[in-house]
Chains A and B, each alone.
Chain A
């Protein structure tokens, strides 16, 4: 038994019915009889927790928890034979496209054209270029606050990167050892201003790529020197002690651990 009268779907696709144009005012009608009901229609607002919304909320929950449409359909990732990153100087090898994509997007995007360092975002790259490679910046920084807060949406500027770090910690609750706000190291020579009490000219913040040049060395060598920036288990309370960077022996490992596992992709929404 059909619930609805026929032809409704067709009406849906048509333009809305034109409203009748206003006619000249008719003569006033005789007063209507009093209506049988004193019922007054009323709109209802339903709050978040309203009982009427309960079943819909449970359905939404089941969807998020992935329970709704049964088991996942496992999708095969295309199998590829090993290939290497084509960026000159980078010798990583991959056997999955996804592994390569993440590598490329993390390390070869947002690369500073001056010093080849790469950054997690364009935002941090821009700040780096300004503070490291813009000579005008240094001059202006002597007279006005030039060090921008790293947080997007915060317009504060500071006269030194140390002040900026303090701001990041106190106003934005950043960790004091935030990895993308590291002191600038001078490569050659002894540690020049590295007494723990003094930060010196500390500048952000890079996902360092200096070792690219060193890939002429045997690419199969994976050393203990991979600098993973892993802090000592007892996290140092003194953030201004710069961590030693083992630049020289840092050869990136060349085999990427793609396990080639089949992956499931389909959630209920994929079918929509």
Chain B
């Protein structure tokens, strides 16, 4: 049968990887709490891969049931069970995997003498099913929000990297998500992974033809590039590798296939662009025309698009917005009014469901209309009424534009010219907006902490 993994893809169809989505019954999250965490730079996102529970393991309506914590003795029993070389071991390993869904059990487990070395031994086993189950245990540990658990997994990193160059798609995918989770949780893990050669390994891995692997890879990159030390320590290594050009390629081909991977790489690019250190490299790779072309394609598909396109639209808007705002001059020029059309089509599409897209789109528009070309296009395409309406819907963007405007004496100028009939309607509209934010006088345009809006 196997002449290569191509056959397996055919047999599996699109069934690569396995996910469990946490139902809102058992996981409570509140948007205001998440916003607050984000403001405090404490928003830690992790991916969890979990086999769909069988009826015996799971609950009603697909709700995830987190098992109760085990006692120290029970955890010790499980550990001993997996250390014994017998058929029982596989059963113990599965039981361990289930038990490790509980954070307290995770903490107890990693504190036991020899637990991690045992898990490593199983993780490097020749028995493929044992190896996979051990990998799932490690994955559960990686999902812990206790940094101590992540750091207990430090000895695993060299093996995780070794296996990334392997051929088993499902296993590689699992290793990637485990790595990504560990990376975001612990600086010690990142400090270990860099000298262990994670960047060259990722650069080889990005040549994989498997969407599932690429998506996992993108996830790891997005977590690495968000690290606070990324601009100084990680991004230079990434720029020195072949990664950026592949990332760009995979983002731009994302509409045809591998959209999940494209989403991850788009966010990775966004974090790189935010660091201010990657602009020149990305511009020389043609990032601006490539991302512009992608935005055109996205806008063309937007009407028939299934759910989720905002996940890639958002980081692409951000990359373009920041790249266009950079210092480097002519490589960043785009003079194609279709970009304007695309932007408006996208904003219109997401206005109801995902207004944050409108907000960020307006920011990109601000950066585009620095150019007289786009200002004229805006008027000649008769988009100004739409713009005014969109501005009314987006308080934050309004503040940004208005702050700038007000800060430069625009208010006074508007008042002066309100009586001019040609300008009257427009001036009044602008004045209305400027009147909204409180304390409008003292903003600096690129101040990172604007007053909070609920």
* A positions within 8 Å CB-CB of B: 3-5, 8-9, 11-14, 16-17, 19, 36-72, 74-75, 77-78, 86, 92, 97-99, 101-107, 109-110, 120-124, 151-154, 171-175, 178-180, 207-209, 222, 224-235, 252-253, 256-259, 261-272
Contact = CB atoms under 8 A, between A and B. Distances in A.
B5 A105 contact: yes
Nearest to A52: B396
Contacts of A234: 113-114
B314 A61 contact: no
Contact-size category for B = 35 or more
B108 interface: no
Nearest to B369: A41
Contact of B363 (A19, A52, A59): A52
Contacts of A207: 124, 126
Given A12-B300, A43-B366, 10 more contacts: A8-B344, A8-B345, A36-B413, A44-B446, A49-B41, A228-B121, A267-B21, A269-B308, A269-B311, A272-B263
A187 to B, nearest CB: 17
B306 A99 contact: no
B52 A72 contact: yes
B46 A65 contact: yes
15 contacts: A43-B324, A45-B276, A45-B446, A46-B274, A50-B448, A58-B35, A66-B22, A66-B48, A99-B132, A106-B131, A109-B166, A175-B155, A179-B159, A226-B127, A231-B121
Interface in B115-129: 117-118, 120-122, 124-129
Given A109-B167, A180-B162, A268-B311, A259 B367 contact: no
The 8 closest A-B pairs by CB, nearest first: A153-B200, A233-B114, A121-B165, A105-B168, A55-B356, A103-B128, A269-B260, A230-B121
A4 B344 contact: yes
A179 B120 CA distance: 10
B410 interface: yes
Contacts of A171: 195
Contacts of B348: 3-4
B284 interface: no
A40 B367 CA distance: 12
Which of B168, B322, B342 neighbours the largest number of chain A CB atoms within 10 Å of its CB? B168
Nearest to A178: B158
Contact of A43 (B325, B413, B450): B325
B314 A59 contact: yes
Contacts of A63: 263, 311
B31 interface: yes
Contacts of A151: 196-197, 200
Contacts of A228: 85, 121-122, 125, 127, 130
Given A60-B314, A271-B306, A77 B166 contact: no
Contact of B204 (A101, A102, A110, A152): A152
B413 to A, nearest CB: 5
A8 B386 CA distance: 13
Nearest to B306: A271
A96 to B, nearest CB: 9
B17 interface: yes
A86 B197 CA distance: 36
Interface in B385-423: 386, 389-390, 396-397, 400, 404-405, 408-410, 413-414, 416-417, 420, 423
B112 to A, nearest CB: 9
A92 B196 CA distance: 34
B326 interface: yes
Interface in B157-212: 158-159, 162-163, 165-171, 192, 195-197, 199-201, 204
A57 B37 CA distance: 11
